[in-house]
Structure 1
Amino acid sequence: MHEAALNRIEQRWNEASDKWDIKALARIYSSDALFFGLLPRLYIGRSEIEEYFGSYQITLKRVRLTLVDQKTRPLSETAFAAQGFGDIINYYHDGSVVKNRVRTSFVIENGAGDWQISLHHFSDLVK
């Protein structure tokens, strides 16, 4: 069940990021989600998460995320934690492409009939 939920979230994330649809990206998250992306600020709630994704609109054309080696643990009947890695491919408006692997941590909850991310944390790997 958790693997299927993660696959669905990854699919929704990639569909929204293919068009860099910041509203669709933000809807993958719960209304009160906590979000630590790769910028140095904590974003809280969908409007701030939309702000985070919007900050990339000028530079990014689209992004592809592949979740890798995810380990899950149930938190309740309607929530689970997942940690692992994410392979990110950034496609920039100038034609450049940058690949990056990040650490990922999520809390995912089943709310309003679909799985949503309520806690998101990405961090760069130490090189």
Structure 2
Amino acid sequence: MSDEADATVSAIIAKWRAGFARLDAAALSSLYSKNAFFFGSNPKLYRGRDGVADYFNGLPRWRQPSAVFSEVNAAQAGPDLINIAATISFNFAGERPDLVVKMSWVIIREDGDWKIVNHHASSQTPLI
């Protein structure tokens, strides 16, 4: 992957983690495309930045949430497209059990900036 793609992925992850630590729906939704599809921790499909903000505004107001990304795999699938798969470990400082999910993002260049256009979280526990 190119240095630009590595830098893009690292920057988005850093902004996402910072926004999640504050449960800042506006900051988080600004990282997403106006055409985003978002599957988070519940079965509902959220669409666009408003949908992403609705998702994050609907979460419990944990005092110290954190998210750690590991096993980050990224591939530049085209000049304006980056595909990402990672594991995210969520810690809630004892307010609820920790949570580990598989995450995939598709990032596109939109209006000169990189935005997440597809966000899909899934259980790490095998379903079959």
Give the TM-score normalised by the residue count of structure 1. 0.84
The runs of at least 4 consecutive aligned structure 1 residues that moved more than 3 Å come to none
Which of the two has greater strand per residue? 1
Offset at residue 120 of structure 1 (A): 0.3
Matched-pair identity in %: 25
What SS class does the counterpart of residue 60 from structure 1 fall into? Answer: coil
The aligned residue for residue 106 of structure 2 is 107
What SS class does the counterpart of residue 43 from structure 2 fall into? Answer: coil
CA-to-aligned-CA distance 1:15-61 (integer Å, 9 cap, x gap): 222322111111111111010001111111011111111111x4423
1:35-114 matches, within 5 Å, as 35-56=38-59, 58-91=60-93, 96=95, 98-114=97-113
Does residue 2 in structure 1 map to residue 1 in structure 2? no
Instruction: Give yes or no for contact 1:65–1:86 (8 Å, CA) kept in 2.
Output: yes
What letter corresponds to residue 123 of structure 2 in structure 1?
A: D
What letter corresponds to residue 108 of structure 1 in structure 2?
A: I
1:107-126 matches, within 5 Å, as 107-126=106-125
Offset at residue 89 of structure 1 (A): 1.6
What SS class does the counterpart of residue 123 from structure 1 fall into? Answer: strand
Structure-1 separation of matches of 2:111 and 2:103: 24
Offset at residue 63 of structure 1 (A): 2.6
Q: Which blocks of at least 5 consecutive residues in structure 2 are unaligned?
A: none
Q: Which blocks of at least 5 consecutive residues in structure 1 are unaligned?
A: none
Instruction: Give yes or no for contact 2:21–2:67 (8 Å, CA) kept in 1.
Output: no
Task: Count residues with an aligned counterpart.
Answer: 123
Instruction: Give yes or no for contact 1:36–1:121 (8 Å, CA) kept in 2.
Output: yes
Give the TM-score normalised by the residue count of structure 2. 0.84
